[in-house]
A and B are shown apart, each in its own frame.
Chain A
Amino acid sequence: AQSVTQLDSQVPVFEEAPVELRCNYSSSVSVYLFWYVQYPNQGLQLLLKYLSGSTLVKGINGFEAEFNKSQTSFHLRKPSVHISDTAEYFCAVRMRSKAAGNKLTFGGGTRVLVKP
């Protein structure tokens, strides 16, 4: 089984400041890692994903995340946020082996509120 922990339920941040959203996971097997964003009253949209290769992954809207295998973390960062980044962000994992199941397991989400 796998689990995902997002350490911060809410993160207030000023416009143009940097932000980091923390994500740690636990799994007995290798996983793929994802970050999704949910804007108010909308569905989930993929920001970025880590499959293999370079541990630094760049996504849409200026976001990036770094996979750290030893710390089982996949923290999301943006160097300068905009008001439009106000949303809820979800970290998720999916087992690499399809035989072991194919669902995404999500963290509890982090609400980012960007203040002017």
Chain B
Amino acid sequence: GAGVSQSPSNKVTEKGKDVELRCDPISGHTALYWYRQSLGQGLEFLIYFQGNSAPDKSGLPSDRFSAERTGGSVSTLTIQRTQQEDSAVYLCASSLDRGSSGNTIYFGEGSWLTVV
């Protein structure tokens, strides 16, 4: 596709269940990001993947959160034992990252997660 694709667009889950959110970046983009957007917290960085380098996990809020990126393309964000405070929009983004951090980062439309 032309843009960053995320699925599911909406997910309602019960507290304590695990959830997986998927991101398909723009073809050819080597950098992939996950952000979380929630009321009162704004946009929070979660994790960043760049090529084959070790990911920057500095934004993951707890060990219940993990992410992987297979084959340098699709990424999955997993939240284990979900809590109500995990309710938020999870945004994925990608960019070309060849030598310049001035490249535009393109965002998907997000996965809306509601934990009940």
Contacts and interface: CB of A to CB of B under 8 A. Distances in A.
A58 B102 CA distance: 16
Interface in B62-116: 91, 93, 97, 99-102, 104-110
Q: Which of B4, B99, B107 has the most A CB atoms < 10 Å from its CB? A: B107
A105 B106 CA distance: 14
Contacts, number: 54
A49 interface: yes
A43 B91 contact: yes
A14 to B, nearest CB: 27
A25 interface: no
Contacts of A96: 101-102
Given A43-B110, A44-B91, A109-B42, A104 B105 contact: yes
Contacts of B91: 43-44
A102 B106 CA distance: 14
Contact of B104 (A41, A42, A49): A49
Interface of A: 32, 36, 41-46, 49, 51, 90, 94-98, 101-109
Contact of A102 (B31, B108, B110): B31
Contact of B102 (A32, A44, A103, A107): A32
A107 B105 CA distance: 16
A102 B50 contact: yes
A103 B43 contact: no
B56 interface: yes
Q: Which 9 A-B pairs rank lowest in CB-CB distance, beginning with the nearest?
A: A106-B43, A44-B107, A43-B107, A43-B109, A51-B102, A103-B45, A108-B42, A32-B102, A98-B101
Contacts of A108: 42
Contacts of B56: 101-103
A32 B42 contact: no
